[in-house]
Amino acid sequence: MTPRDGNDETTITGEEHWTQKGDAKLFLWRKAPDNPTRGTILFVHGSSMASQPTFDLHVPGRTDSSVMDWFARQGFSTWCVDMEGYGRSDKHRDINSDISNGADDLTAASSYILDYEDGTPLLAYGISSGALRAALFAQRHPDRVKRLALDAMVWTGEGSPTLADRKKRLPEFQAKNRRPIDRAFVHSIFNRDHPGTADKEVIDAFADAITALDDSVPTGTYVDMCSKLPVVDPALIAMPTLIMRGQWDGIASVDDLLEFFRLLPNPDKQFTVMPGISHASFQQKNYALVYHILLSFFTQPDPIYRGD
């Protein structure tokens, strides 16, 4: 399944940007058409990889492999940011970069982006622990987020086989601020739930891009997801929200997410199950389906009638 909307011949040039969070320098990456007209998207990465491999991955022969390029061709200004401790952002502080710290990163990044763009609230997308970071940021700063998409998220952790297995190593994660990653680890992400949902050449390209930037990543999100859930309160997430879950994703049970969904106060909310997908949505064979779902949500008109 391959995306076809937009002009595939249009070259989208990336721009690097930098901002500060205290004494930590954060790397931001922007890709946009000359005149973006449909809003500004902030993509938020997960626990084990920086932002560019996740959202601006280029694979020969895979049309529109970069989700940033594809959404830029639809008329959006697209941004991603490396959380502190990842990729090109600073790694010098002696911290494990937990979910709350990631929400702080998004506060700093959003301040920069809103100043750079037109100040209109952002369309935010987060995946896995990035969904938790994005949700906590939206909870803290509802005025900065117009619409919120949470993909591969977990709320309480109940019924999660991935987290049940990960908890066996919790003392190890708690004992240090970083954990090693390599190509074999990246391949394990695609083999743990339902092998076959992603093409080998895509996984290889993803692994190459990840390990070119990092040979270790912070432990904080793993510690939080194994021992501190829930870290967000759905009742405090005020904006329209989309919950996205891959059919075979082992990070969260459907029941866990449906209860989170039920407690969201804004009636403008959606829950979608993505068929044929496990965990890393944009690297899956069915990535066109993910693009379509996200585009539909981000371009949905606001309701005219809301009742009393």
- Please count the other Cβ atoms lying within 10 Å of the Cβ belonging to residue 52: 24
The band of 110, judged by pLDDT with boundaries at 50, 70 and 90, is: very high
Tell whether 305 is covered by a domain. Answer: no
CB-facing half-sphere around the CA of 168: CA atoms within 13 A: 5
pLDDT tens per residue, range 246-289: 999 999 899 999 999 999 999 999 999 999 999 999 999 999 99
pLDDT (0 to 100) of residue 247:
97
The band of 2, judged by pLDDT with boundaries at 50, 70 and 90, is: low
pLDDT (0 to 100) of residue 1:
44
Query: Based on the structure, what is the number of domains in the chain?
Result: 1
Q: Report percent pLDDT > 70 for the chain.
A: 97
pLDDT (0 to 100) of residue 9:
58
Tell whether 3 is covered by a domain. Answer: no
Tell whether 37 is covered by a domain. Answer: yes
20 pLDDT above the threshold of 60: yes
The band of 73, judged by pLDDT with boundaries at 50, 70 and 90, is: very high
User: Where residue 144 sits, what CATH number does that domain have?
Assistant: 3.40.50.1820
Q: Are 154 and 252 in contact (CB under 8 A)?
A: yes
Contacts with 195 (C-beta within 8 Å, 6 or more apart), sequence order = none
Tell whether 240 is covered by a domain. Answer: yes
pLDDT tens per residue, range 218-229: 999 999 999 999
Task: State the DSSP code for 70.
Answer: H
Strand partners, 301: none
Tell whether 101 is covered by a domain. Answer: yes
Average pLDDT, the chain: 96
How would DSSP label each residue in 155-177?
SS-TT-HHHHHHGGGHHHHHT-S
The band of 214, judged by pLDDT with boundaries at 50, 70 and 90, is: very high
Tell whether 55 is covered by a domain. Answer: yes
202 pLDDT above the threshold of 50: yes
Tell whether 8 is covered by a domain. Answer: no
What is the average pLDDT across 193-222? Answer: 98
What is the average pLDDT across 52-69? Answer: 97
pLDDT (0 to 100) of residue 307:
86
pLDDT tens per residue, range 170-201: 999 999 999 999 999 999 999 999 999 999 99
Tell whether 153 is covered by a domain. Answer: yes
Q: Are 203 and 285 in contact (CB under 8 A)?
A: no
The band of 67, judged by pLDDT with boundaries at 50, 70 and 90, is: very high
Among residues 58, 14, 7, the alpha carbon closest in space to that of 209 is found at 58
d(CA 239, CA 145): 7
pLDDT (0 to 100) of residue 7:
46
Q: Are 97 and 86 in contact (CB under 8 A)?
A: yes
The residue segments making up the domain with residue 266 are 14-298
d(CA 293, CA 295): 6
Among residues 137, 47, 128, the alpha carbon closest in space to that of 87 is found at 47
